Amino acid sequence: MPYIEKIEMKGFKSYGNRKVVVPLSKGFTAIVGANGSGKSNIGDAVLFVLGGLSAKAMRATRISDLIFAGTKTEAPAKYAEVAMYFNNEDRGFPIDEDEVVIKRRVYPDGRSTYWLNGKRSSRSDILDVLSAAMISPEGYNLVLQGDITKFIKMSPTERRMLIDEISGIAEYDAKKEKALKELKQAEENLARVDLLIREVKTQLDKLEKERNDALRYLDLKDRVERAKVTLLLGEIRKLESLIEESNLRDKEIEAEIAAMEARLEDIAREIVAKEKELNAIEKELEEKSEDGILEVTRKISEVKSKIEMAGKNIELAKKEIEDGQRRLAKAKEELKKVSEEIEKSRNAISRWSKRREKLKAEIKEKEVIKNELVVKLGEIDRDFAIAKQDFDHVVEELEEAKKELYMKESDIKKFEEEIERAKGRIAQSNAKKVALKSKIGEAKSALETKRSELGEVEGRMGRAETRLKKAEKELEEKSRKLKKLEGELSKAREELIKAEAQREVRGNRAIEFLKAQNIPGLYGSLGELITVRDESYALAVEVALGGSYDHVVVEDDRVAEKAIRVLKEKKLGRLTFLPLNKIKPRSMKGEPALGVPALDVVQYDPRFRNAVAYALGDTLIVSDMDEARTVGIGKVRMVTLGGELLERSGAITGGHYRPRGKLGINVDEIRKRVEKLEHEKEALESAVNALRVEVKGLQNELFELRMKRSELSKDLQVTQREMERLLAEDRALEEEIRENEALIEALEKKIHDTRGEMAKLRGRIERLEKKRAKLKKALENPEARELNQRIREVEAEISKLREELGKVESKLEGLDVRINEELLPRRTDLEEEIEGLINRINALKANIEENERAIKDFEAELEELKKAEENVKDELKELRERRERLRNEIIDLRAEKDELSSKLQELRIEANTLKIKLAQYEATLKEKRDELKHHDAKLIKSIKEVPLELDALGEQIEKMEEEIRSLEPVNMKAIEDFEVVERRYLELKSKREQVVAEKESIEEFIEEIEGQKKQVFLQTLSEIAKNFSELFAKLSPGGSARLILENEDDPFAGGLEIEAKPAGKDVKRIEAMSGGEKALTALAFVFAIQRYKPAPFYLFDEIDAHLDDANVKRVADLIKEASQNSQFIVVTLRDVMMANADKIIGVSMRKGVSRVVALSLEKAMKILEEARKRSEAEHAEMFGHLSG
Amino acid sequence: EVFVVDDFRVDIEKHVYRLHEIVVDMYRETKEPINFWDLVFDPTPKIVARTFLYLLFLSNMGKVDLIQEEPFGEIFVVPVEEA
């Protein structure tokens, strides 16, 4: 490996005008000196001579600043020059010299000149020589001042590229470059071939299509011919079979028609029979439903109401019985009371009678005494006797009066009691009346309700009857109309069938088709548009029309043109059109005396006048040839009624003429009419049905209403009777009240009278008492008085007794009266009443029984009636069912008839159609046979099988012909041309394959190179990474660091990261490391590379600035170790570093010029050892205090 | 040792002047250029390097002249007469 032996500087930076030599050797050289003495200028000089271009890298503004600027004592240099002497003994430089000298000189104008071994050279040559020895001014081996961290600062990619460079993979890149060029060439070739292939292919495709078309054309021609013949044969066969089939079918149809007609007749007969039966049933049904059922139901309702009445009667009677029994009980009680009272009174009478007897005996006794006394007194005084007589008389009278008064009083009491009783009766009656009143009210309102219900029912009945009447009338009307309409319809249908058949036979299909197109302004054939009023002219007019019959009347020439286009398109034949805006009417010259102008006997829409006149305007209708002759044959166009046509030219046409049919018959119109009639019929039928339903509904309603009415009238009757009964009772009560009131009045009057009498009596009694007192005075005589006294005493006793007797007697009398006049009659009354009540109750019970019996009878009757009703209903139901059945049968028959009719018509039409078709078939058959003759007989013979699907065959032929047409024009030459071009195409194809193979092999080669490149790179990296980790561990004991690829799979796509972990610290991001750590990491990286692939020399400028002594020592040791393989030039200020160097270059500046002093430390050590022995003591004395 | 290094760094000027005094004294005695080796009191690489460095500093300061005839030849130190 080459190394720098020395550097010579002249006029370079601070080194002045004299040549300065910096001696260098293998191993470790330190460059030392004070700051600013020019140490780093040596490093700059190295960069300069190696061809560095960056002034900045050499710490200058411009490259010319590198020239010594001069001092006070020394002039500036004219140029700066640095020469570097390399030892080339091992031929590291590709130059066959032991020493390689590179010299560079720069002039103030910035121009540089280079010398290689004394010969002028160019910078690029110098750089080439240097790079051959792996030296570059930008190399990683040159670490300038403060630049150690560049390995840290550089991007991962730059770092990776550094490894690229070291691993020498540039060689692979060059190979790849070359291969890529080849690839490009191959691709261009391929593109060219592809282009050619494309062109040839286009040509080939076109030719292929033409060739295929040509082959196809030939094939198709053959096949079409064959198919055509086959088709003809097939058509002939088909026609033959069709003719045969049609004949058969025709016969069949005739047979069917005959059968159907027979069946139709049968059906008609059957319908008539069924309808007759139906009418009979309906009549019966009407009768039965009208009379039978109504009568029965009326009876039922009567019986029911009777039953109800009886029930009500029973109820009433029961109520009455209850009432009577209550009354009876009351009467019996009263009777008991009265009897008791009588008993009591009789007892009292007997008691009182005894008392009276006793009193009478006492009175008699006393009177005897008194009489004795009176006699005595009379003896005493006669006058007195008279007085006494008077007095006695008065007393007697008085007593009488008093007695009478008592009587009256008891009378009054009696009367008052009687009044009380009467009042009680009145109150009773009134209470009964009130009860009755409410009953009457109820009955009234019930009556009212029933009446109004009845009224309503009757009203509804009336309404229903009128409605029924109306509906029936309407039904009759509609049925009549329907019958009429049916007649019309069947006539119209017949007409339609006839017209259709006619049209089928004679009609012009072209016209029909045109009409079906609905072209506006196309009116139809002239024949359709004309009608003949008088049937006798019909034939004449038809003959007169002749060919014009089928001329089509159109609005204008445009319509005609349109129609003609349609006819052409559809190949429907030809027609003559009469455009109304163009057609010129024909006319006769002068009116002939005989005959009728044809125009006068026809009817038409005035719009079509010109068209009609064009056909008939010049034609005269005459009765016969004679008349024609009279008019003059040839004078005018004439037609006889018999159908002979005499043209003006004199030509006469005649013979048998089969009329075409009625003129002016437009099938469509008839069809429309038929449709309209059918609609009307349908409408009418539905109306009739609706009416029938309505009538039925109304009849039912009426029936129900009648039932209801009869029920209601029964109810009404019952209610009315009940009402009458209640009213009678009310009246009776009223009478009773009135009687009692009269009684009360009479009694009151009696009381009044008695009271008056009593007052009179009292006055009399008073007067009598006064008289008695006066008389008593007169009787006063001592003896007499005594006697009188005695008498009076006796008399008083007597009178007292008498009074008592009177009282007793009046009481007796009162009792007697009460018994005889009151109690006994009352008892008789009561007894009578009781008897009456019992009788009544018995009567009522009998009544109830009777009614119950009646109810039983009625129920039996009702049962019977119901049975009867049921029978009638069943009968009716059966009748209705029969009616329904018959109707359905008739409907079925009619339907069958209609169906048969329509089938018959269809068959007729079919028969007609068949005949037409047969003719057509035969004509076509002939045509086809003729056509067959034109084809090759061999071909015809060769065809054995004829397919049945002729349509498909026809379609095939058409398709094939279409294809043939589409193939034309055909390039027959294409068949040969195609083969030529195809050969060319195949050649090109094989060539393309060759080119592709070539291209692929180049691609494979490139891939291989890439693989090798990657392998080499990875190998290098792994070595360097290993070194790095080891060296870092050495520099930072306890720490670790790794190199990591950013992209493991494709290293060249990413960079190279440094991951460092200084001792005792976590993994640090590089940016966050201290200066010293950074420097250590960077140095580990540099040494890792150096260990793998050492550079010839290393220049480190103050890499140890930030390191402490321990680290500097480690670095210095490393440098020492590495310096065995490479030359190390280290600028330093650190004694530890210096101490490790083999040689030390000292730089000092004297008067602005740097000087160099070189010291070999190895040599120094030997010298010093001797000197130490010499003057150890002296030195120890001088520096003793520094040692340690 | 760390302390010493620090001391060396801090007192570098002191050491340099001391060396200068020695050089001046030796020159006054002999009036002859002083051999570098005579200035190295301890023959360890570190002391040699340090002494060499101090001399370079003195030369740079214009206090001494360093004279070497050929590369790696003997180095003589002559103090500069101050005006």
Q: How many domains does chain A have?
A: 2
Q: What are the structural domains, with CATH classification, of chain B?
A: 2-79 (1.10.10.580)
Whether the Cβ atoms of residue A404 and residue A808 lie closer than 8 Å to each other: no
How crowded is residue A591: how many other Cβ atoms within 10 Å of its Cβ? Answer: 8
Phi, psi of A20 (to 5 degrees): -110, 135
Q: Who contacts B43 (Cβ-Cβ below 8 Å, separation ≥6)? A: A1165, A1168, A1169, A1171, A1172
- The angle, 0 to 180 degrees and rounded to 10, between the axes of the packed helices B2-10 and B12-30 is 70
Whether the Cβ atoms of residue B41 and residue B53 lie closer than 8 Å to each other: no
The answer to whether position A445 is within a domain reads no
Q: Residues of A with CB below 8 A from B71's CB? A: 6, 21, 23, 1158
Q: Residues of B with CB below 8 A from A1149's CB? A: 60
Nearest to B49 among A1138, A1167, A1172 (CB): A1138
Report whether pLDDT(A238) > 50.
yes
Please tell me the total number of residues recorded for chain A in this structure.
1188
**Do A1157 and B56 make contact, defined as CB atoms within 8 angstroms?**
yes
**Do A1188 and B43 make contact, defined as CB atoms within 8 angstroms?**
no
The answer to whether position A858 is within a domain reads no
A35 labelled as ligand-binding?
A: yes
Q: Nearest CA to CA, how far is A1105 from chain B (Å)?
A: 13
Residue A1169: its pLDDT value, please? 74
The answer to whether position A620 is within a domain reads yes
**Do B56 and A1180 make contact, defined as CB atoms within 8 angstroms?**
no
**Exposure pattern of A1022-1039 as b/e (b: 16+ CB <10 Å)?**
ebbbebbbebbebbbeeb
Please tell me the total number of residues recorded for chain B in this structure.
83
Residue A1123's identity, in one-letter code, is S
A600, A629, A663 - which closes a domain? A663
**Do A1109 and B1 make contact, defined as CB atoms within 8 angstroms?**
yes
Q: For chain B, state the CA radius of gyration.
A: 13
Closest CA in chain A for residue B57: A34
**Do A1148 and B2 make contact, defined as CB atoms within 8 angstroms?**
no
DSSP string, A452-469: HHHHHHHHHHHHHHHHHH
How crowded is residue A136: how many other Cβ atoms within 10 Å of its Cβ? Answer: 17
**Do A1135 and B53 make contact, defined as CB atoms within 8 angstroms?**
yes
Whether the Cβ atoms of residue A464 and residue A698 lie closer than 8 Å to each other: yes
A641, A663, A685 - which closes a domain? A663
Q: Nearest CA to CA, how far is B37 from chain A (Å)?
A: 6
Residues of B with CB under 8 A from a CB of A: 1-2, 4-5, 8, 15, 22, 36-38, 40-46, 48-50, 52-53, 55-57, 59-62, 65-66, 68, 71-72, 75
Residue located via tokens 């019909």: A538
Mean pLDDT, residues A1138-1153: 90
A633, A663, A693 - which closes a domain? A663
Q: pLDDT tens-digit profile of A530-561?
A: 888 777 888 888 888 877 888 888 888 888 88
Whether the Cβ atoms of residue A199 and residue A984 lie closer than 8 Å to each other: no
The residue among B4, B36, B39, B60 with the most chain A CBs within 10 A of its CB, best to mutate, is: B60
Residue A1186: its pLDDT value, please? 54
Q: Is A518 in a helix, a strand, or coil?
A: coil
How crowded is residue A378: how many other Cβ atoms within 10 Å of its Cβ? Answer: 18
Q: pLDDT tens-digit profile of A447-502?
A: 898 889 889 988 988 998 998 899 989 889 988 998 898 888 888 888 888 777 66
The parent domain of residue A1175 ranges over 3-141+1095-1186
Closest CA in chain A for residue B46: A1139
A611 labelled as ligand-binding?
A: no
**Do B57 and A1163 make contact, defined as CB atoms within 8 angstroms?**
no
Query: Measured between alpha carbons, how far is A986 from A979 in angstroms, rounded to an integer?
Result: 11
Residue located via tokens 């034609």: A619
The answer to whether position A898 is within a domain reads no
Q: Nearest CA to CA, how far is B48 from chain A (Å)?
A: 8
Q: Cα dihedral angle (A736, A738, A741, A747), rounded to 10 degrees? A: -80
Nearest to B5 among A1109, A1158, A1183 (CB): A1109
Q: pLDDT tens-digit profile of A935-954?
A: 888 888 887 777 777 788 88
Mean pLDDT, residues A1071-1088: 86
Query: Measured between alpha carbons, how far is A775 from A384 in angstroms, rounded to an integer?
Result: 10
Residue A846: its pLDDT value, please? 87
The residue among B56, B57, B66 with the most chain A CBs within 10 A of its CB, best to mutate, is: B56
Q: Which residue has the higher pLDDT, A20 or A370?
A: A20
Q: pLDDT tens-digit profile of A617-665?
A: 888 888 888 888 888 787 888 888 888 888 888 888 888 877 666 665 6
Mean pLDDT, residues A1125-1135: 90
CA distances from A386 to A366, A372, A451, A768, A824 (A): 20, 16, 93, 17, 48
Structural element, H or E, at residue A143: strand A142-143
Whether the Cβ atoms of residue A1161 and residue A1143 lie closer than 8 Å to each other: yes
For chain A, how are helix, strand and coil distributed in percent, rounded to 5? 75, 10, 20
Q: How is residue A76 annotated by DSSP?
A: P
- Maximum average pLDDT range among A96-100, A316-320, A900-904: A96-100
Euclidean distance between the first and final Cα of chain A, in Å?
A: 41
pTM of the model: 0.42
Q: pLDDT tens-digit profile of A678-737?
A: 888 888 888 888 888 888 888 888 888 888 888 888 888 888 888 888 888 889 889 989
The answer to whether position A1166 is within a domain reads yes
Query: Measured between alpha carbons, how far is A508 from A527 in angstroms, rounded to an integer?
Result: 11
The answer to whether position A893 is within a domain reads no
The answer to whether position A19 is within a domain reads yes
Query: Measured between alpha carbons, how far is A1154 from A1147 in angstroms, rounded to an integer?
Result: 7
Residue A664: its pLDDT value, please? 58
Report the CATH number at residue A32: 3.40.50.300
Q: Residues of A with CB below 8 A from B22's CB? A: 1182
Phi, psi of A106 (to 5 degrees): -125, 140
Phi, psi of A508 (to 5 degrees): -95, 120
Q: Who contacts A134 (Cβ-Cβ below 8 Å, separation ≥6)? A: A1095, A1096
Closest CA relative to residue A1113, chosen from B75, B37, B79, B5: B5
Q: pLDDT tens-digit profile of B19-71?
A: 899 999 999 988 889 988 888 877 788 888 888 989 999 998 889 999 998 88
Report the CATH number at residue A612: 3.30.70.1620
Query: Measured between alpha carbons, how far is B58 from B67 in angstroms, rounded to an integer?
Result: 13
Structural element, H or E, at residue A88: none
Nearest to B56 among A23, A32, A1186 (CB): A32
Rounded mean pLDDT of chain A? 84
Residue A282's identity, in one-letter code, is E
The answer to whether position A1105 is within a domain reads yes
A41 labelled as ligand-binding?
A: yes
**Do A1139 and B44 make contact, defined as CB atoms within 8 angstroms?**
yes
Residue A1067: its pLDDT value, please? 66
**Do A1180 and B8 make contact, defined as CB atoms within 8 angstroms?**
no
Residue A331: its pLDDT value, please? 83
Q: Nearest CA to CA, how far is B13 from chain A (Å)?
A: 12
Q: Nearest CA to CA, how far is B81 from chain A (Å)?
A: 14
Runs of H (alpha helix) within A1107-1186:
1109-1122, 1135-1140, 1161-1183
Phi, psi of B62 (to 5 degrees): 80, 20
Residue B6: its pLDDT value, please? 45
Residue A678: its pLDDT value, please? 87
**Do A37 and B60 make contact, defined as CB atoms within 8 angstroms?**
yes
